[in-house]
Copies of this chain bind each other. A is one copy, B any other.
Amino acid sequence: MTPDRDDPEGAIAAAAKECSNWGRWGADDVLGTLNFLDAAKRREGAALVRRGVSFSLAQSFGMDGPQKGWRRRTNPVHTMLDTGTDAALGTQGFPHGFGGADDVIAMPLQCSTQWDGLGHIFDHGRAWNGRAAERVVTSDGDLVTGVEHMAARVAGRGVLLDVGRVIGGGGELPDGFAITEEHLTATAEAHGVRVGRGDIVTVRTGQLARVRRDGWGDYAGGPAPGLSFTTAGWLHRTEIAAIATDTWGFEVRPNEFAHAFQPLHQVAIPHIGLLIGEMWDLEELAEDCAADGVYDFWLTAAPLPVTGAVGSPVNPVAVK
């Protein structure tokens, strides 16, 4: 069913009703779909380590990133507290020739490769599991579903759906391309890989390869390929634990309504309780998968347990 372009609110409400996981894991749940990622899934994932090669799926964290300051999202500012130049000059005040360098960072938690926490998005003032947004995230942070609760959980079976390579021309989907359930299914079939309960799904659109070649442009917030709003049912039905893309915003942009802002987020995070990753770098992994034809792997993507955070920078590591 195609949603009415002029009624995002109605479409969101319908999808939310259809896909809601509220109460599924009890009133106190703070994990959402991570509940699907269990010990059996971890055993299954670990068994996928065959060659022992590892891949970082993180973009760099630095001043050369894509952020433009919109909503105060800047690139990370990394500065030094002590340097080798100081150490070389011997003015650091340490004994026996000891020298040191230290550093500090100031960054939005959503500035580069990241997880969106469960407190990141609300629907009409409701957070994950039906909680009142104002009781969950205050100026003191996420008091209930902070990303620290996920610290030990995000390790399991990863799957790559290289939609850019299977569906796109030249390995890339164009900006504005809406990835539907059919595209996802066709890609999985082309890869010979199955997606199921507890999996961590990574979706490559190829946009990151394009901006690497052409410049960041509007990578942060502008037009992009991404998941169609209509995939909400698939995201819910497959019972995946998490999903991540190589784009800024996970879903297709411009969004598929006349006037809307990230409508799929509004269903996926507060209603499905889905862990969403953004700005992942899937390029090297995708090359390897294309080469050996194996699209599942062991994946650890441990968020930094910042107390009360609604998101987290992450360096996901895939091992095949």
Contact = CB atoms under 8 A, between A and B. Distances in A.
Interface of A: 8-9, 12, 38-43, 45-47, 49-56, 58-64, 69, 71-91, 94-110, 119-125, 127, 132-142, 148, 151-155, 259-263, 265-266, 298, 300, 302-311, 313-317, 319
A96 B64 contact: no
Contacts of A319: 42, 46, 155
Nearest to A10: B96
A87 B125 contact: yes
Count of identical protomers in the assembly: 4
Contact of A104 (B72, B98, B100, B124): B72
Contacts of A263: 96, 98
B63 A69 contact: yes
A124 B139 contact: no
A181 to B, nearest CB: 22
A39 B58 contact: no
B120 A100 contact: yes
A314 B308 CA distance: 17
B307 A315 contact: no
Contacts of A58: 151, 302, 304-305
A99 B302 contact: no
B83 A137 contact: yes
13 contacts: A38-B52, A43-B52, A45-B49, A54-B153, A58-B305, A63-B72, A80-B310, A85-B137, A90-B125, A91-B134, A98-B262, A101-B119, A139-B139
